[in-house]
Amino acid sequence: GGTGAADDGSVETCPKCGGMGKVRITRQTMIGSVITTATCDMCNGTGKIVKNPCKKCRGQGHHSFKRKIKVDIPAGIHDGDRLRVSGKGDSSGRDSIRGDLYITVKVEQHPEFKRDGDDVVSEIRISFAQAALGVTVGADTLDGKEKIRIKPGTQPQTRVVLKSRGFVQLNGYRRGNHVINIMVEIPKKLSRHEKEMLADYARARKEPVG
C-alpha cells in the first residue's frame, strides 16, 4: 500500500517526534535559548517507524518495474519529435504524483519516399522514347497506386506535383504535396537495329552523332 511495511501492524508512530515528522531543538546562546525545528532523524520526516519492512520495496514504499503501454502517434509527426504521456513517469511513493513519460520518436526511412517538410518526394524512371512520345505510368503514393500522365516532350528532372497528397500537418488538417521527379534513362547498350533507327532519327533532325 505504499507504507513501506509488510503489513499494517508493522507501522508505528515515531516515538521521537510523536508522529509530527519534525523535532524541536533548543540551543543555549549568549542571548538566551534559541528553539529551532528540524526534520526528525529517526523517521526521516514521515512520522512513522516501520518495524517490519516490505521485502519488495525494502521499506521505501515504492519500487521500479517495467511495463508496456500503448501510445497514440499523431499523423504528421517528424523524426526526433517528443511525445509527453502524462502520469506514466516515476512515483516517489504513496500519495505522490506520478511524473510524465517522454518518448522520442524515430521514423524509419522508406525505400522509395523521402520527406521534405510535409511534402513527399519520389521519382519515376522512364525511357527516352516515353519522354519524347508521352506515356501513362503507375506511381505509388501514400494513398495507393495512381496513374500519372507523362506529357510528350517531357524533359529530365521535370516535376509532377500531386496536390494535397503528402503528410498531414502535425496537429493540423492540411496535407502537403507529393512531388514526383521524372528521371529519363538513357540506355547503355543498344542492338544493331536500335542503333540504325536512332541514326535515321538523328539524320532526319540533322544532328551529328557518332
> What is the percent of the chain where pLDDT is above 90?
55
H/E stretch holding 195: helix 192-204
pLDDT tens digit string along 113-146? Answer: 999 999 999 999 999 999 999 999 999 999 999 9
Tell the residue number behind the cell numbers 501513362, with chain if given: 136
Give the pLDDT score at 93. 64
CB 190 within 8 A of CB 202: no
> Per-residue pLDDT for 70 more than 70?
yes
Q: How far apart are CA 170 and CA 133, in angstroms?
A: 41
Specify the higher pLDDT residue, 2 or 164.
164
CB 30 within 8 A of CB 56: no
The residue-averaged pLDDT of 74-82 equals 94
Report the predicted TM-score, pTM, of the whole model to 2 decimal places. Answer: 0.66
3-class SS of residue 156: coil
- For 59-127, the DSSP string reads TSS----------PPPTT--TT-EEEETT-S---STTPPP--EEEE--PPPPSS-EEETTEEEEEEEEE
> Per-residue pLDDT for 91 more than 80?
no
C-alpha cell at 173: 488538417
CB atoms within 10 A of CB 23: 18
Give the pLDDT score at 47. 83
Q: For residue 36, which amino acid is it?
A: T
Q: Return the minimum-mean-pLDDT range out of 16-30, 113-127, 191-205.
A: 16-30
The residue-averaged pLDDT of 50-68 equals 81
